Amino acid sequence: MLRLQLLLVNLGAKFVGVKLGILGFGTVGTGTVQLLQDREGRHPLLQEIEIYRVGVRSLDQPRAVKLPEGVLTTDLEAIVNDPAVDIVVEVMGGLEPARSLILKAISNGKHVVTANKAVIARFGAEIFTNANQAGVYVMLEAAVGGGIPVIQPLKQSLSVNRIQAVTGIINGTTNYILTRMQTEGSNFNDVLADAQRLGYAEADPTADVDGLDAGDKIAILASLAFGGRIHLEDVYCEGIRQVSKTDIAYAEKLGFVIKLLAIAKRQTKDNSKLSVRVHPTLVPKAHPLASVNGVYNAILVEGEPIGQVMFFGPGAGAGATASAVSSDILNLVAILKTTTTNPNPLLSCGHDDYCQIAPMAELVTRFYARFLTKDQPSVIGNLGTCFGKHGVSLESVVQTGVHGELAEIVVVTHDVREGDFRLALAEISTLEAIESIPSLLRVL
């Protein structure tokens, strides 16, 4: 089934690599195809991937990306049954026909990449049992936390730990709503309506607002963190509809922010029982999750001996999700290429050229500088002239106080070439009014 060698045809180099059958060409599907078609500057292994079929509902719809003749098809069954397809990428969403197509792909010996948290949370047992029997992988990095790498770290990097808890802000819509309620003092209903208008909430917001989407995701994370399956009906879900601006204000006074947390935690001392739940929660302001705002997601993992580790990033969006889907595809391609004499190209070092490093003089950055000067009215003007001559534009100048006979002036520049800034400084240091330049720091 796999042809991993590069077949270089004389009439134009045509790669026969790993063939993808993509199910669905909506936001995530389109983002994934765009990423895979635009390989320059990404991992070289992407060149081994061929977008072989993309299954859609209708051929007539206008598309953001162009595909070669014959790639688009409305026959999704044919994709999962096609012996040429190596990896099926399910990005259509919904429960059916997604579940049946995934199962069919597995039974045909194909690896699967899916972004479908709803299907995995409900039918994960069936899907993974079949995958294990068929000897294929089902990868699901995009199902939780959008682009944030969290599934793979849980499976590979953190599994030497005894995990005690996984606590996440894993629904961007509700976090966006709560953040706006917090910063604006607005009501839930007003912010929801606005979020719907802006596209941050769906017309039917139930799955997000009532915590069901976060419930699917925490079930998946719990299963990976604690090495057992989860009955979705065991997951307690409480949404944010009843969170009022009054409570947000009181919470603030008491030193908390209100977040919709999804929590999976060892409940009993003997570790035999878990608590898995989604509910609005008062989070102490100093807690790492308290400052995760807007549509961002974060997942905090606590384990022994590691302590606390947090993964933070964009929880949704075409690009972020495409990154997660594509990384799963890349991992499968790497596995398919790995042989005894050919180590996994994602784990071995694939480069042997040196990077070119620019000298510091070419760096473009903002600067902070502190000057001690004689207390003369012309000093700030002289500084400004000198900086201006060398193309250094100032964001702020503060004369902050007088130390004995000396005045202290703090300057923050706009972006400037470090070389130019140094020339200006050299000239400034020769000015009669300048006593010293005790501090020079870069600004991010």
Q: Which are the catalytic amino acids?
A: 217
Q: What is the dihedral of CA 385, 391, 397, 403, to 10 degrees?
A: -60
**Radius of gyration in angstroms for the set of CA atoms belonging to the chain, rounded to a whole number:** 28
Q: Return the residue of 37, 74, 132, 385 that touches its own copies, per CB under 8 A.
A: 132
Q: Return the residue of 63, 279, 374, 422 that touches its own copies, per CB under 8 A.
A: 279
CA–CA separation, 419 vs 2, rounded Å? Answer: 54
For residue 17, give Cα distances in angstroms to 26, 109, 110. 25, 17, 15
CA–CA separation, 148 vs 310, rounded Å? Answer: 11
Using CB under 8 A, which residues numbered 313 to 332 contact its own copies? Answer: 313-314, 317-320, 322-324, 326-327, 329-331
CA–CA separation, 261 vs 298, rounded Å? Answer: 10
Using CB under 8 A, which residues numbered 93 to 112 contact its own copies? Answer: none
Provide the 3-class DSSP secondary structure of residue 265.
strand
Give me the 408-437 binding string for its own copies, x by CB under 8 A, dash otherwise: --x-x-------------------------
Least distance (Å) from its own copies to the CB of residue 310? 4
The kind and range of the H/E element at 329 are helix 318-337
Torsion sign over Cα 348, 19, 46, 133: negative
Site for its own copies contains 261 (CB under 8 A): yes
Question: Which residue, 24 or 124, has its beta carbon nearer to its own copies?
Answer: 124
Least distance (Å) from its own copies to the CB of residue 343? 6
Site for its own copies contains 303 (CB under 8 A): yes
Question: Which residue, 115 or 274, has its beta carbon nearer to its own copies?
Answer: 274
Question: Which residue, 71 or 346, has its beta carbon nearer to its own copies?
Answer: 346
Q: Return the residue of 5, 37, 183, 267 that touches its own copies, per CB under 8 A.
A: 267
Give me the 47-86 binding string for its own copies, x by CB under 8 A, dash otherwise: ----------------------------------------
Pick the stretch among 51-59, 337-345, 380-388, 429-437 that binds its own copies (CB under 8 A): 337-345
Show Cβ contacts of residue 248 under 8 Å, excluding neighbours closer than 6 positions: 178, 181, 182, 185, 257, 258
Site for its own copies contains 268 (CB under 8 A): yes
Using CB under 8 A, which residues numbered 154 to 183 contact its own copies? Answer: 155-162, 167
User: What DSSP state is assigned to residue 339?
Assistant: B
Q: Return the residue of 37, 308, 429, 436 that touches its own copies, per CB under 8 A.
A: 308
CA–CA separation, 265 vs 278, rounded Å? Answer: 12
Site for its own copies contains 246 (CB under 8 A): yes
Question: Residue 386 in contact with residue 428, Cβ under 8 Å?
Answer: yes
CA–CA separation, 93 vs 34, rounded Å? Answer: 19
Q: Return the residue of 68, 70, 307, 404 that touches its own copies, per CB under 8 A.
A: 307
